[in-house]
Structure 1
Amino acid sequence: MDRLNSKLYLQNCYIMKENERLRKKAQLLNQENQALLSELKQKLSKGNPKGKSSNNNIPDLNLGSSSNQNHANTSSN
């Protein structure tokens, strides 16, 4: 029984470490996406000198990310 518990404990440690690695990677990708989106919005606004905003067609990437991050944080508990 102790051997099984030890094996399960090690598997759990590995899973938690992998989850943390993936969480950090997801945060970096989200930051990169936000920077690219900002750059795209700037380029679109410069290409539209008459004041017409075409940024309304670009989705806000933060809308879904906050719920995903909250879900990721609660799933580790």
Structure 2
Amino acid sequence: MEKLNSKLYLQNCYIIQENERLRKKAQLLNQENQALLSELKQKHSKGSSKSNPNTLPDLNLCSTSTSNPANSSKP
């Protein structure tokens, strides 16, 4: 039984590390997405001064929030 607990503990540690790695990657991708969205909005506002400024959809509606995995994991 102790061997099984040790194996499960190591698997849990690996999953927590992988979750943290993926959370950091998601944060970086979200930052990149926000920067690109800002750039797109700036280009659109410069190029659409003659046309309808409401033609750009709000891409922020599609963004997802990341939850804190530390709150949901048990040591």
Q: Same fold by TM (over 0.5)?
A: yes
Question: Is the contact made by 2:45 and 2:53 (CA closer than 8 Å) also made in structure 1?
Answer: yes
Which of structures 1 and 2 has the larger relative contact order (alpha carbons within 8 angstroms, sep 6+)? 2
The code of the aligned residue for 2:72 comes to S
CA shift in 2, pair 1:64/1:40, >3 Å: closer
Percent of paired sites with the same residue: 62
The code of the aligned residue for 2:31 comes to Q
Number of aligned residue pairs: give it: 73
Q: How does 1:1-77 map to 2 (within 5 A)?
A: 1-50=1-50, 52-54=52-54, 57-61=56-60, 64-66=63-65, 69-70=66-67, 73=69, 76-77=72-73
Runs of 4+ residues deviating >6 angstroms: none
Instruction: Please give the TM-score of this superposition, normalised by the length of structure 2.
Output: 0.78
The code of the aligned residue for 1:8 comes to L
The code of the aligned residue for 2:58 comes to P
